[in-house]
Amino acid sequence: MALQTTPIVRGTVTAALTPVYTVPAGKVSILKKLILHNTNLGVEHGFTLRVTPAGEANSAEWDVIRNYLLNDSIFNMDLSAPLLEGDVVSIQGDPLTQIYLGGIETDP
């Protein structure tokens, strides 16, 4: 069972809810670290991090974070959210927000 730490998402948040990561075939993942950087200080920005289980309808989605109002320069959160093969991570927020979402991929 080889553990591999990986940046799952790194870049700019999208205004529309957008899938940014799907757990690869034959792997499981654990979301471990979320860092958001608000580059437009003084303005609050909502942020959502959503997981859709593999093969499930939208009704099975769950929000790890839902419309969190980011008003600080940096938001840093430790996570321990397990994901199974085919699960999809989506994000939504203000495009003036930078994101780093790190995790671990491993064999089941």
Q: Which pLDDT tens digit goes with each residue over 32-86?
A: 999 999 888 778 888 999 999 987 766 678 888 888 888 878 889 999 999 999 9
55 torsion bin: left (phi>0), alpha (psi -120 to 50), beta (else): left
Q: The domain spanning residue 41 has which CATH number?
A: 2.60.120.660
Give 5-30 pLDDT, tens digit per residue.
788 889 999 999 999 999 999 999 99
Q: How many domains does the chain have?
A: 1
Q: Cβ(46)–Cβ(93) under 8 Å?
A: yes
Length of the chain counted residue by residue: 108
pTM given for the model: 0.87
Q: Cβ(104)–Cβ(4) under 8 Å?
A: yes
Comparison of pLDDT for 35 and 1, the residue scoring more:
35
- Which domain, by its residues, includes 89? 4-106
Q: What pLDDT shows up at residue 11?
A: 92
Q: Cβ(99)–Cβ(9) under 8 Å?
A: yes
